[in-house]
A = this chain, B = another copy of it.
Amino acid sequence: MTSWDLDLDGATPVTPDALTRLTAALEADLQETNRAIVARMESPVALIPQLAAHLVAAGGKRLRPLLTLASARLCGYRGDRHVQLAACVEFIHTATLLHDDVVDESILRRGHASANAVFGNKASVLVGDFLFARAFQLMVADGSLEVLRILSSAAATIAEGEVLQLTTQNDVATTEQRYFDVIRGKTAALFAAACEVGGVIADRPAAECAALARFGMDLGMAFQLVDDALDYSADVSELGKTVGDDFREGKLTYPVLIAIADGDAAETEFWNRSIGEGEQSDSDLATALALIDRHDAINRTVKRAQGFTETAIEALSIFPPSDLRDTMQDVASYTTARRF
């Protein structure tokens, strides 16, 4: 239990098992998607399925493909295109993870050794490229230019967000606006696209597709804000990654932006040295955690996430009430209470 879990006054109702319920509601679709993922990772080049299997074995919640499946079903879709497109979405996400881990030099991913730690950076870059290309092959086989437009645009936006994040690394003058641009690109854009394509294949009106995109976008923003909070608060055994990664990498995430903005002269000096200049000693992470705690930055980050959660929930009000709609909205609430 992390401290901020106990201090969510004014929070939207917390339904800790919403993601489990959504997964259960879409179990058959999800199993089809998992089969499609395994089948489409195949290649005569043995290292590709080997490395890909390492990622599949590492698990993950399949949150993004679930959003595609849920959105399609919410729109009354009855075919099987959503399964292939959910696999596409997961491939784009996995390719991004592989390249992220190379860029971040991460050694853990979801509690397991990251692919680059096991197979090397080179294989991670190239298998990421393969999965990305394979995702486009799957979309082409689906045959919808509108789906291709949405997902190729998301892919470009993801890369822009990642490059922007690189640009802001170690830059203690990073603005809140710039931070939001980064997470919109690197995370929220794919959540939005994952949801939107569900509406598109169901041939729903533009307003409903836009509502799904809004739901995904704001859910993604909340998700990344909480992720950035967890990096300064989660136990490695719970989150499957090490605490303080963002600090060590000099990433200007929301909790740090708050602590910098509200810090006194001595604190400013600390951040300038440890993040700005990247000169860190062993005790610096503890100091950073103490300063973040002093300015209540974890709770304030989660509160900011709750704002996005609320607009995400509101976006789905265009759809008639249903168990599925309620569960999707609960997943949004759960995002700000999660430790996954």
Chain A residues proximal to chain B, CB less than 8 Å: 43-48, 95-96, 99, 102-103, 121-123, 125-127, 129-130, 132-134, 136-137, 139-140, 143, 145, 148-149, 152-153, 155-156, 158-160, 162-164, 166-167
CB < 8 Å neighbour of A103 from B103, B126, B140: B126
Chain B residues whose CB sits within 8 angstroms of the CB of A134 once the complex forms = 156
Contact A143 B145, beta carbon cutoff 8 Å: yes
What are 9 of the A-B contact pairs (CB < 8 Å)? A44-B160, A45-B163, A46-B167, A99-B129, A121-B121, A126-B166, A129-B132, A129-B155, A129-B159
Contact A103 B130, beta carbon cutoff 8 Å: no
Most buried by B among A134, A137, A163: A163
Given A125-B103, A145-B145, A132 and B132 touching (CB < 8 A)? yes
Given A136-B148, A148-B140, A152-B136, A160 and B125 touching (CB < 8 A)? no
CB < 8 Å neighbour of A125 from B102, B149, B152, B155: B102
Main secondary structure of the interface of A (DSSP, over half): helix
Contact A163 B127, beta carbon cutoff 8 Å: yes
Beyond known contacts A45-B167, A47-B163, A137-B149: 8 more, CB 8 A cutoff: A45-B160, A99-B126, A103-B125, A123-B166, A126-B162, A132-B132, A136-B155, A140-B149
Chain B residues whose CB sits within 8 angstroms of the CB of A122 once the complex forms = 102-103, 166
Given A140-B152, A153-B137, A160 and B130 touching (CB < 8 A)? yes
Most buried by B among A134, A136, A137: A136
Q: What separation, in Å, do the CA atoms of A159 and B123 have in the docked complex?
A: 10
Q: What separation, in Å, do the CA atoms of A126 and B103 have in the docked complex?
A: 8
Chain B residues whose CB sits within 8 angstroms of the CB of A136 once the complex forms = 136, 148, 152, 155
Residue of B with least CB distance to A130: B159
Contact B45 A126, beta carbon cutoff 8 Å: no
Residue of B with least CB distance to A129: B159
Chain B residues whose CB sits within 8 angstroms of the CB of A145 once the complex forms = 140, 143, 145
CB < 8 Å neighbour of A48 from B125, B133, B160: B160
Contact A48 B130, beta carbon cutoff 8 Å: no
Contact A163 B48, beta carbon cutoff 8 Å: yes
Contact B158 A133, beta carbon cutoff 8 Å: yes
Q: What separation, in Å, do the CA atoms of A143 and B148 have in the docked complex?
A: 10
